[in-house]
Amino acid sequence: MAASSRDMAESPPPPNKATEEELRSKSIQELVINGGQPPDNYVYKNSTGGVPDVHTPNLNEIPVIDLGNLKSSATTVEEELEKLRSALSSWGCFQAINHGMTSSFLDKVHEVTKQFFSLPMDEKRKYSREANNIEGYGNDIIFSDHQILDWTDRLILMVSPEDQRKFTFWPNNPTDFRDILLKYTMVLSLITEVILKAMAKSLNLEDNCFLEQMGERSTMFTRFNLYPPCPRPDLVLGLKPHADGSAITFVLQDKEVEGLQFLKDNQWIRVPVIPQALLINIGDQAEIMSNGIFKSPVHRVVTNSERERISVAVFCSPDSDIEIEPIGRLVNDSRPILYKKVKNYADTYFQYYQQGKRAIDAVRY
């Protein structure tokens, strides 16, 4: 009989510390091909010194929002706005259906993602990120020997503003990769506007309250993720617990393999796979603008011992030159201002993220 995850956790393998040079030079895919135990650099322990609980029952259902009902002409708009407000104030996320993209198009997004990560390593390395720069192909930027690394390979591309695109990192293979990416993110730009306006309406604010703080040169990054099979899912995470630094994040999940989990009421809740749905969560900057009414949720990705998992995340954030702050009408005697004004939040975010801390705590009053 095969050993259970619990048995494995009680009998950990001998230390397997990889050198920084080895970690920088190898993708997770290569570590899997080489076999053996994950290097200790990937072994995650929580605040109590134990391993993360990955055997989480699906105790609650992530809210589902019909984006078609958020349009002003919809007869059910008021009901859907209330559902949106409840979802973002209690969960900080929801599964979006009726978003306007066909299942065949989303299949193409999945397909080009899988095709890229299936390319020979030499081909993928043509798009390798530069040192200390997130854009391009690679995995975690290594800042210290004590850093716990994520079990994921990724390709990160800046899509907006258009004049900031670095096409040297945009794959030519698959041949339709760029076209699919641009079509996909164009639709998400429109959905972002719909959601931000709906967020304002749900709080009885002017439609453009959130949009105005995004600015004319709001940013959009796309992150293509590959989570290869991991021999120790009881010890290793695909993504460490964190909240996003964005305003809005979209996640196109794997069509079959679960892995994303959100922290709610001190319990990790699995996000089920709903065919053709988009998982949408708000990030720290939307929490700041809403003066804490909407919650930027902590989430993580667990690993799988048998199957790889792919996903595509898109992060939409305000123009880095614009100072964001809590919307004035959301500040009053019963709800005092919670956050300071902040510009270029991304800089603060990444400094804290690498330390395993929440950046939003640095801008609280």
CA of 204: how far to CAs of 75, 85, 198, 208, in Å?
18, 11, 10, 11
Give pLDDT, residue 19.
Answer: 57
Give pLDDT, residue 54.
Answer: 57
Report the C-alpha gap between 200 and 80 in whole angstroms: 13
Give pLDDT, residue 139.
Answer: 92
Q: How many helices (H) and strands (E) does the chain have?
A: 10, 14
Report the C-alpha gap between 42 and 238 in whole angstroms: 9
Low-confidence ranges of the chain (pLDDT < 50): 1-15
Which residues, 6 or more positions from 296, have their beta carbon under 8 angstroms from its beta carbon? 92, 243, 244, 281, 282, 283, 284, 286, 287, 360
Report the C-alpha gap between 141 and 46 in whole angstroms: 21
Q: Where are the beta strands (DSSP E) in 98-152?
A: 136-138
Give pLDDT, residue 131.
Answer: 82
Give pLDDT, residue 83.
Answer: 97
Give pLDDT, residue 9.
Answer: 44
Tell me whether strands 248-252 and 342-343 are parallel, antiparallel or unpaired: unpaired
Give, in words, the CATH class of 62-363: mainly beta
Domain boundaries, the chain: 62-363
- pLDDT tens per residue across span 214-225: 999 999 999 999
Give pLDDT, residue 171.
Answer: 98
* Sign of the dihedral through C-alpha 136, 137, 140, 142: negative
Give pLDDT, residue 51.
Answer: 57
Tokens read off for 186: 């164009």
Question: Which amino acid type is present at position 336?
Answer: P
Is residue 263 within 8 Å of residue 241, measured between CB atoms?
yes
Tell me whether strands 136-138 and 153-160 are parallel, antiparallel or unpaired: antiparallel
Q: What pTM, to 2 d.p., does this model score?
A: 0.91
Return the bridge partners of 58, or none.
none
